[in-house]
Structure 1
Amino acid sequence: MAMFDDIRASLAPPHPAGRPFIMGGLIAALLGVAIGHWLIWLGLMFTLFCLYFFRDPERVPPARPGAIVAPADGRIVSMGLSAPPPELGLGAEPRWRVSIFLSVLNVHVNRMPLDGVVTRIAYRHGAFVSASLDKASTSNERNALAIRVASGQEIAVVQIAGLIARRILCGVREGDPVRTGERFGIIRFGSRTDLYLPDGLRPLVAEGQTMIGGETVIAEMLP
Structure 2
Amino acid sequence: MFHKEGYKIMILTALILIAINVVTYSLIDLYWLKFAILVASVLFFLLIVQFFRNPKRPTIHNNEHVVSPVDGKVVVIEEVFEKEYFKDKRLQVSIFMSPLNVHVTRHPVGGKVKFSKYHPGKFLVAWHPKSSEENERTTVVVENEVAGEVLYRQIAGALAKRIVNYAEEGTEVVQGSDSGFIKFGSRVDVFLPIGTKVRVGINDKVKGGVSVIADVVS
Name the TM tier (shorter chain): 0.7 to 0.9
1:137 equivalenced with 2:135 (yes/no): no
Where in structure 2 are the equivalents of 1:15-26 lying within 5 Å? 15-26=3-14
Which residue of the partner structure matches residue 145 of structure 2? Answer: 150
What is the TM-score normalised by the length of structure 1?
0.86
Asked if the contact 2:197–2:217 (Cα under 8 Å) also holds between the matched residues in 1, the reply is no
Which residue of the partner structure matches residue 208 of structure 1? Answer: 203
Corresponding residue SS for 2:99: coil
Where in structure 2 are the equivalents of 1:20-169 lying within 5 Å? 20-32=8-20, 34-37=22-25, 40-41=38-39, 43-86=41-84, 89-90=85-86, 92-151=87-146, 153-169=148-164
Bigger Cα Rg: 2
Supply the AA of the counterpart residue of 2:43.
Answer: M
Supply the AA of the counterpart residue of 1:99.
Answer: S
Q: Is the strand fraction higher in 1 or 2?
A: 2
Which deviations, in whole Å up to 9, do the C-alpha atoms of 1:109-148 show, x marking residues without a partner?
0001111111111111222111123322222111100111
Corresponding residue SS for 1:96: strand
- How far does residue 45 in structure 1 lie from its aligned partner after superposition? 3.1
Q: Matched residues in 1 for 2:43 and 2:124: separation? A: 27
Percent identical among aligned pairs is 32
What is the RMSD of the two structures over their aligned residues, measured on CA atoms?
A: 1.9
1:178 equivalenced with 2:173 (yes/no): yes
Asked if the contact 2:64–2:146 (Cα under 8 Å) also holds between the matched residues in 1, the reply is no
Supply the AA of the counterpart residue of 2:88.
Answer: E
- How far does residue 96 in structure 1 lie from its aligned partner after superposition? 0.3
Q: Matched residues in 1 for 2:147 and 2:6: separation? A: 36
Asked if the contact 1:96–1:202 (Cα under 8 Å) also holds between the matched residues in 2, the reply is no
Which deviations, in whole Å up to 9, do the C-alpha atoms of 1:43-69 show, x marking residues without a partner?
433321111011111111235441110
Structure 1: which 5+ residue stretches go unaligned?
Answer: 1-12
Q: 1:108 to 1:187 in 2, by over 3 A?
A: same
Q: Matched residues in 2 for 1:83 and 1:166: separation? A: 27
What is the TM-score normalised by the length of structure 2?
0.88
Structure 2: which 5+ residue stretches go unaligned?
Answer: 26-33
Q: Matched residues in 2 for 1:179 and 1:105: separation? A: 26
Which deviations, in whole Å up to 9, do the C-alpha atoms of 1:146-200 show, x marking residues without a partner?
1111247211010000011110001221111111111110101110000001343
Which residue of the partner structure matches residue 217 of structure 1? Answer: 212
Asked if the contact 1:95–1:198 (Cα under 8 Å) also holds between the matched residues in 2, the reply is yes
